[in-house]
Structure 1
């Protein structure tokens, strides 16, 4: 199998370390009066062999690196081209340079909205950050109904307006919640990584294919993380507050509303919401559960299968397989915030030889008002 530049780099490091160790051993042996001459000669012979191998690898490394740099320069974006093509080419150049361990050219960063003229930091340029955060490849239903921002150390009020009347919040449940937890939400930073596998074939592909492949994988990872933290029943330590199913001991933090059937539980949960939240409520639930409801309600009547979910349940519905218990409420109070300093790096899968374009991000999901939601439970 033909060696890549990365293989040669790794071989250089290995041989270089062995050569340095042998040189040190030879010096130690030579300085010891009791050392045998043949031992010193053997070490000198070993050193000469390693030095010859190192020189061959170094020469091959320099040739391969020069070829790759020349290839990379050919693929650098043409900055007098159409803006869309310019951005696409800049993204491809950034990805290739990152995976190959090269410095990203300043003009590439500038084309992607990086205001730092040095090009030395590893912050993902703003153009790519914005598109990754706001154009998910894999559908996350919460993207259509929750609030999404990208602000450092974000603090926001839980209630968007106030009146001069101290009793302006008619919903006593909300008033009690604000009294206990305060009226301001502070967003934290919870780190996670997304890995986009990149093969030599993909690196050598067109700019369009490379960018679509890498960005598709990164967006998929971001969407999967968002859904997971919001609907998990087994959250990681420190991420408990992100889940709609969070518990205080054995008790659900968000009010659970039971029903003899899931359909009745959903109806009861909608009715149990305070009026202001009920008017703008959305249901998130599993598609399989919805089909079970249709089957029970239809009773052999095929017409109901053609009805829109909102016509059946009375509120808009977003399907998510992770929503094992339907969550009903005003999802404007479900708020995701990303730290703008998304970082990119590379990592090699030693088992497959495939390189990963690695994205490190910090996320927080705050349910600003628990009283804006209900969980439907079949009793």
Structure 2
């Protein structure tokens, strides 16, 4: 019985398959459609996770309370409770089911940005005035005007474009005049800004998912409660006041507290409803009260969310970039005038420039009208 020796795959073939696989992965992850699909998956998973009860931080740190909480979940979900528990879905923001597509979305967003930034920057910053004849044959808006071999029509074109808010650049090549007129030339960069904002948003989600915490404090009057998540920081209940209107209806709720750090009072202040008190990285919210007047027990919420500033910054960047994309669309008109007087025009604009076709047609009509007046004179 003969044993055939296995042939080893040549190193060149291994390298070929490795390079081919890497190129395919690059193409897949750098596609906008794939990134949009991942974003949809992440949003659907986030919606699914929000429908499940999540283990409160104070419960997770207490074994007896955690066991009681788990039994309550079993009563609600029955035989599926243990499966959901093993998948980590009661800590959804830290589960592999959520983090895996989120990580893929981060990678895809980075690759999409790297794949597009050169073309977008070239389109926004490095535009040639002298262009090939194919531009005037393939542009969505184009026209050809036969004029006399003088510069009056060329000057009319420049004045008309300048009145419409276009920025002009001109050049001459082999006796041919070229003109490039652009409006909102930097608006294509809003696409890259959107990608950057999405990365900030994802970074904020990761920071919030791993390092954010909340802790409920119940503080009797005159007593002090330690914030367990913050080393050396405690809170003292110095009183609670209910401000009322003349009709005796409640106008505002004010909790007077003192922050104590390492045994020493460092700050006193008021916590109002929807008006938290901030100290360094901790924010304190008023959740409720109980007891009688003059001896109220406070229910406060102490929280820390390192991703919150990134959410705010990313939201502002998204808003600005979307406004730029929708209200300041890029538009471009290119012109070429030959020595014998033939004027070629080509125009294109972003999809958001809905009135560009009418604007281009009105420009051509204005030029024809000027030509007729010049011929008549």
Q: Into which bin does the TM-score normalised by the smaller protein fall? A: under 0.3
Greater share of strand residues, 1 or 2? 2
Q: What's the TM-score once normalised by structure 1's chain length?
A: 0.25
Whose Rg is larger? 2
* Structure of higher RCO (CA pairs closer than 8 Å, 6+ residues apart): 1
User: TM-score under structure 2 normalisation?
Assistant: 0.25
